[in-house]
Amino acid sequence: MNKPIANNASSAVEVTEIFETTAANPAFEFFDQDLVPLPSSHALKGKQIVIRLDGALLVFYSTNVRVRTRPSLQKNFAAFATFGVDSRGTINGLPVRHDMVLAVPARQSIAVVAEPGYESASILIDPTDLMNQLSTQGQREAPPLLQRVEVLHAEPALAGNLFKWIRHMVMSAVENQELFETSAEHRAAAKQDMLETLLSTLATSSRMTLERRDRTRLIQSDIVRAAEQYAMAHTSDRIYVKDLCQAAGVSERSLEYAFRAEMGLSPTAYLTRIRLHRVRETLLQGSVANTTVTNEALRWGFWHFGEFAKAYKECFQELPSDTLRRAQGV
């Protein structure tokens, strides 16, 4: 699995253009993105902007193709995510809505399928800061939404305002980067405004009522994640569908339905795609002298090299040997 890397903590504004998964997967020190593009006729062109506000972060993310991401919070930060009015996709199997606020406690993860045009605007914050702000408003108990992943329904206007506020602040920071980098007072004022805007939205939010089909989607998403976790824990093994069924505790038919509903792909097609991207990520970092196509193919469970090379070229429009040579500057 990809490990988060620590970027320059003194940088208040960080813009990442995402053309390869290596640009997004080791996202930054607060969460592991773990992104895999799904089949598309277009090349990946995403963007991730991170604004640091001295103990809090604003994160804007967009993609032009269908991708699967599994954001996992790495430190003692909670996350609150909002979505653009035209955003489509799923969170843990549930359809993304513009009146949705997703609350993710520290050290929890979610499963996202983002469709082309998807935009999310998120706040990452230490729960202590949130509690301090609540205390100034006369509340002293932690809200239940800090205990587990919650999908909240907010007033559409308020949810839209929170999304627009985050997006506006992010774009303003990019346009005025020097000010954000040098002015602690400016960052502190932005953080205070952020807290007030967030809490005013949460104050009118409630847990989203789930319909029967929503519960089915949640179950299917759990099945997919159980199969993913098993596959990624046995990267170099020969994995069969029956192994995934056993790991997820379901029949082959239920596994197929779950993957088709969540990914639009069969279990084997999706897991093959994950492994192809993992091989590519390593090859693109091929400055390490002992990196070879054969070793990386074997490490990620590809035993038939001819079939591997064919699948790799179909996915990336080049042979794995070409990727490695390009990374090594040959």
| More confident call, 239 vs 84 | 84
- Which structure tokens are listed for 89? 């996709």
Number of neighbouring beta carbons within 10 Å of residue 299: 14
**Does the pLDDT at position 162 exceed 80?**
yes
Rounded Cα gap, residues 244 and 302, in angstroms: 17
- Better pLDDT: 4 or 217: 217
Report, as an integer, the average pLDDT of 91-117. 92
What is the residue extent of each domain of the chain? 13-207, 212-327
Residue 10 pLDDT greater than 60, yes or no: no
Mean per-residue pLDDT over the chain, rounded: 86
Lowest-confidence region among 221-225, 257-261, 283-287: 283-287
Contact 59, 124 (CB under 8 A): yes
For 244, how many CA atoms within 13 A lie in the half-sphere containing its CB? 26
Q: Which CATH superfamily is domain 212-327 in?
A: Homeodomain-like (1.10.10.60)
Which pLDDT value is given to residue 329?
75
**What is the CATH topology of the domain spanning 13-207?**
Jelly Rolls (2.60.120)
Is the pLDDT at 63 greater than 80? The verdict is yes
What is the percentage of the chain residues whose pLDDT exceeds 70? 89
- Which pLDDT value is given to residue 287? 62
Q: What is the per-residue pLDDT across 193-230, written as a single tens digit (0 to 9) for each?
A: 999 999 889 888 888 888 889 999 999 999 999 999 99
Q: What is the pLDDT of residue 144?
A: 53
| Average pLDDT of the segment spanning 90-98 | 94
Query: 44-53, 132-141, 292-301: which has the minimum mean pLDDT?
Result: 132-141
Q: How confident is the model at residue 161 (pLDDT cuts 50, 70, 90)?
A: very high
pLDDT of the residue at 4:
33
303: exposed, middle or buried (C-beta count within 10 Å: 0-12, 13-18, 19+)? exposed
Mean pLDDT of 241-253: 95
Distance between CA atoms of residues 292 and 297, nearest Å: 9
pLDDT at 174 (0 to 100): 94
Within 153-304, residue ranges assigned H as helices are 156-175, 177-182, 184-202, 212-233, 241-248, 252-263, 267-284, 293-299
Confidence band for 112, pLDDT divided at 50, 70 and 90? very high
